[in-house]
Amino acid sequence: MTGFGVELHALSVRFRSTAALDGVTASVIPGTICGLLGRNGSGKTTLLSTIAAFRRPSGGSVRVDGEAPWENPRVLAGIALVREGGDVPDVRVSEVLRYGAAMRPTWSGEVAERLLGRFDLRSSQRVEHLSRGQRGALAAVVGIASRAPLTLLDEVTLGMDAPARYACYDELLADYLVHPRTVVLASHLIEEVDRLLEHVIVLDRGRVLVADEADALRARGVRVSGEAERVDAFVGDARVLRRETLGRSAVVTLYGDLGSDARARAREKEIEMHPLPLQDLFVHLTDRPGSAEGQGGAR
């Protein structure tokens, strides 16, 4: 099994008068790891809950493996949504795992056991006695061991310390390589998850800001520097996210396609070109209008 795909069409979710999701159209390709990025309150959790049919759409549609997930046992058996808090009642760790095994036809007890050890969890521990990081780790164990065709991880690494977070990324990737599946990873630790991602969806205030291949997105974020006039000529009509000058030289942060000959042109004009880390690009793109720095320059 290579995983379930997800198709979202004009999806809206409203809470009374506020639109948590507003016309979201995007897809997740089966068998890929997709990053769901967005600032706090951008709708990431609502989107994942709606895909997992914890929530019903107010408008538009969700398709998982070609079908609406709402009250659809076949599809739901293949969706594992785990969240930072773990969403588990006050039971022992062993019971959480037993529940996972009973729910998931794809569950691997062997993986669960090994990961418990890796995260220093004991099956006799009660969930309420776990620290925040340990609860996140337990959620990660459940998420990975489920081997669900659609695995949705909602900020599971939030309370974990750095070694635990990296262990989580490594284990997820290692198991994904052996058992490919579709993974949607919501996180705002973009720098850390960056290299795991093949696709990226950026949500901003309930709407899709960008949905693309991660490499294509990375290629569109560029920082160029050099002699100011040359830099401005080189930039042309690409969208400028930020411009700084220092004496006669300028550093310009761009978003857009500079063309396949950009490197050669840059070298000719003695302009340095650096790709923008995904995290920086995200910060620039989701910066609020009115906050001066995000809006500099022409489109």
Residues at the site binding another protein, with contacts judged by CB under 8 A: 32-33, 169-170, 173-174, 177, 195-198, 214-215, 218-219, 274-275, 277
Q: Tell me whether residue 75 or residue 193 sits nearer to another protein (CB atom).
A: 193
Comparison of 22 and 171: residue with beta carbon closer to another protein: 171
**Least distance (Å) from another protein to the CB of residue 298?**
27
DSSP 277: P
Q: Which helix (H) or strand (E) holds 270?
A: none
The Cα–Cα gap between 287 and 295 comes to: 9
CB of 156 to another protein, least distance (A): 17
Rounded least distance, CB 127 to another protein, Å: 30
Cβ closest to another protein, residue 46 vs residue 108: 108
Comparing CB distances to another protein, the nearer of 173 and 228 is 173
To another protein, the closest distance from the beta carbon of 278 in angstroms equals: 11
Residues 6 or more apart in contact with residue 174 via CB below 8 angstroms: none
* Distance (Å, whole) CA 122 – CA 111: 14
Closer to another protein by Cβ: residue 93 or 140: 140
Nearest Cα to 40, choosing from 182, 225, 189? 189
Shortest distance, position 273 Cβ to another protein, whole Å: 9
Shortest reach from residue 134's CB to another protein, in Å: 23
CA distance 59 to 118: 42
Please name the helix (run of DSSP H) or strand (run of DSSP E) that holds residue 16, with its range, or none. Answer: none
Find tokens 């599946």 and name the residue.
181
- Nearest distance from C-beta of residue 198 to another protein, angstroms: 4
Alpha carbons within 13 angstroms on the beta-carbon side of residue 111 total: 22
CB atoms within 10 A of CB 282: 26
Between 104 and 147, CB nearer to another protein: 147
Helix (H, G, I), strand (E, B) or coil at 1: coil
Nearer to another protein, 29 or 103 (CB): 29
Q: Identify the CA nearest to 140 among candidates 182, 178, 96, 98.
A: 96
Contact 225, 261 (CB under 8 A): no
- Radius of gyration over every alpha carbon of the chain, rounded to an integer in angstroms: 21
